[in-house]
Amino acid sequence: MQVLSFLPLYLRRAWLSAALVRATALDLAVLAGHLLLYPSGLAPERRPDNAATATPQLPTAGRSHPPVVLLHGFIDNRSVFVLLRRSLARHGWRHLESLNYSPLTCDIRVAAELLGRHVEEICARTGHREVDIVGHSLGGLIARYYVQRLGGDLRVRTLVTLGTPHSGTRSAQLGHAHPIVRQMCPGSEIVEELRRPAPDIRTRFVSFWSDLDTLMVPVETARIDHPDLLAQNVRVTGIGHLAMPVHPAVAAGVRQALTAGQPEVAGQEAFSVA
């Protein structure tokens, strides 16, 4: 994207328009595929003793990873993570949990409390003291509220968010009638709570945001900008909102984020999937 600054304005606009068309087409294709998978994700997942036994694993399978909790976005379910889950399993993650919360949930706080109970149950069942969480869109906001406001940093080692409206998105105003959508608007009580001081939070945050995400308005709202949080913002170019949890390049970035150790300072990366 940096090379665009050297192009004439009309060329920059033409490039961005073409990229947006491609990203929109990809999002529509992802949506069509997801609608086919959606019924399979309505029921809670079964939890066999070894969730990865049915998936061929790469040579990295011997590594030990904390359980990964996958949390979907608004009016969605665990089926959105089919490809990401498969990618993690093939690269050695053995404990993968995809959680559903009801589309009738009206409060991020309630959903965050439910997430906290699930995390405690997962830790008790697997014997791990901590988990990692990957949240798409609203799921990332629910997970952040749990970590930042409900003491979840004691249990969550790394929180990865994909296209999450950390500062609120103006597009949520279109669905203002739904209480939980109102909480995703800029200036909502939830957004303001997350702006409050959060000293001594131990969780590491990695936020993936796309410059072609039309549901994040402005797109920078999917970044985490908080002075007390150890946050890394990763800019993705070439895809939109719906493609974030299914694109293989993003999956590779998520694996890297979950494998990396705690950095000494917050940073920013960028990669293109165009």
- Give the mean model confidence (pLDDT) for residues 216-245: 95
pLDDT, residue 265, reads: 40
pLDDT, residue 4, reads: 46
| DSSP conformational letter for 207 | E
Q: Which residues have C-beta within 8 Å of that of residue 87, sequence separation ≥ 6?
A: 248, 251, 252, 254, 255
pLDDT, residue 81, reads: 95
pTM: 0.84
d(CA 51, CA 178): 35
- Give the mean model confidence (pLDDT) for residues 133-141: 98
Read off the pLDDT band of 75 (50, 70, 90). Answer: confident
- Give the mean model confidence (pLDDT) for residues 44-71: 63
Q: Are 274 and 58 in contact (CB under 8 A)?
A: no
pLDDT, residue 232, reads: 95
The yes-or-no verdict on residue 133 having pLDDT over 60 is yes
The yes-or-no verdict on residue 266 having pLDDT over 90 is no
pLDDT, residue 263, reads: 42
The yes-or-no verdict on residue 35 having pLDDT over 50 is yes
Read off the pLDDT band of 48 (50, 70, 90). Answer: low
For residue range 158-199, list pLDDT tens digits in order.
999 999 999 999 999 988 889 999 999 999 999 999 999 999
Q: Are 132 and 69 in contact (CB under 8 A)?
A: yes
